[in-house]
Amino acid sequence: MIGPLIGEALRAMAANRMRSALTMLGMVIGVGAVIMMLAIGKGVEDSVRASIASMGSNLFMVVSGAPQSGGIRMGSGSAPTLTLDDAEALMDLPGVVAVAPSSPGGAQVVVGPTNWSTSVTGTTPGYFTVAEVKFGEGQPFDESDVRGATRVAVIGPSLAENLFGGDSPIGRTIRVNQSPFTVIGVTEPRGQSIDGRDQDDVVIIPVTTAQRQVFGTQVIGSVRFVQVKAEGPEVMERLQGDMETLLRDRHRIRVGQEDDFSVRNMTSIMNAAASTTAAMKLLLGAIASISLIVGGIGIMNIMLVSVTERTREIGIRMAIGARRRDVLWQFLLESIVLSLVGCLIGVLVGVGGARAVANATELKPVVTAGSVMLGFGVAAAIGVFFGFYPARRAASLQPIEALRYQ
């Protein structure tokens, strides 16, 4: 029964090509929009998650600064109040896995005739634990390098590519602001950080070497910020209080006085960012779904017109033996075929649109099988839902009246 009726549906669509095409356009736009919007939302979500993953989990950021200077309040990091000794003291707190005091800066890196401007971070071996850095080649520096302020460097893969092309950089010498460093490790690609910096275009050197030979510093032993990794999410809250107490104590800040540092729970900030992007994805999907519903109403509209136009045909079919459910199925199948064909084209449009967005912008839309299935399922459901009323109307016609209809 269904077989010949699908043929009928296709014939009916072919007979009214322009009308069918315009009706389908509603579904094409609806499904295309859903897939594209979900792809963009997913792309943003993925990049946020990747940044979070590259940053490492259960992380605190302790930033120096926010001191007062004659009544003028300075921003975070504006004064060098944190020291390497502070970092070591933080390491002794229970629940702390690793600390990474850091002095970041920019520098010109030279290898033979090639030079490249990049960011340089002076830090301790704790950094590799905190940031969960994996090594593509070589190895990290260790505590003795920090103590001895040796000239060794770990570099990111894109910097390695820029300076050495395909050659292995291990054991080669690079000049950072004139000082020669030996490359001992290359990290695996880490992608962008949450604030958009390329974490693969970096030089990581012992903090002591950075302070003495690359940047110089206002106060020997001071660092811009300290990253602290906790052993798990359950100790985060307690640890934040412990760290504040410890640092206030060490910095001799009296009760009532403002802190000259701030402790930020990066994980909670990141989670907030992640849930914001999830909400944005949902919103995009919801807006796109409205266009699907509009497309469905377009189908219902056309099917109602079609039922009226073909009243006489329905009468004939009933006269020669079509039962009401045969007529119902005929029109229902027609709207389902309309919406499914529209949906197929919509999937192509959505995927193509996502590609176009990827080419034209910084966004990296991700079309998932789930979103295609969702678009497809919703379109089929809409075909049934909005096709049912017109089909019911066709099936409930009285044969005599339908036959008499001009």
Binding site for another protein (CB under 8 A): 1, 3-4, 11-12, 14-15, 312-313, 316-326, 399-400, 403
In whole angstroms, how close is the CB of 283 to another protein at the nearest point?
45
Spatial separation of the C-alpha atoms in residues 144 and 149, rounded to whole Å:
8
Q: For residue 343, how far is the Cα from the chain centroid?
A: 27
Q: Which is nearer to another protein, 74 or 319 (CB)?
A: 319
- Within a 13 Å sphere around the CA of 158, how many CA atoms are in the beta-carbon half? 14
Sequence-ordered list of residues with C-beta below 8 angstroms from that of 360, at least 6 positions apart, any chain: none
Closer to another protein by CB, 26 or 315: give it.
315
Cβ nearer to another protein, comparing 220 with 400: 400
Give whichever of 256 and 321 is closer to another protein, judged by the CB atom: 321
Please tell me what DSSP assigns to residue 235: G
- Cβ nearer to another protein, comparing 8 with 198: 8
Coil vs helix vs strand at 348? helix
Least distance (Å) between residue 47 CB and another protein: 52
Q: At its nearest, how many Å lie between another protein and the CB of residue 386?
A: 24
Q: Which two tokens stand for residue 59?
A: 């992380």
Q: Could you tell me the smallest distance in angstroms from the CB atom of residue 319 to another protein?
A: 5
Vertex 54: Cα angle to 51 and 56 (nearest 5): 115
For the bound state, the minimum distance from the C-beta of residue 323 to another protein, rounded and expressed in Å, comes to 4
Q: Which is nearer to another protein, 279 or 319 (CB)?
A: 319
- ∠83-107-151 over CA atoms, to 5°? 65
Q: Which residues have C-beta within 8 Å of that of residue 317, sequence separation ≥ 6?
A: 326, 327, 330
Instruction: Report the alpha-carbon distance of residue 271 to residue 49 in Å, rounded.
Output: 9
Give me the least distance between CB of 12 and another protein, in Å please: 7
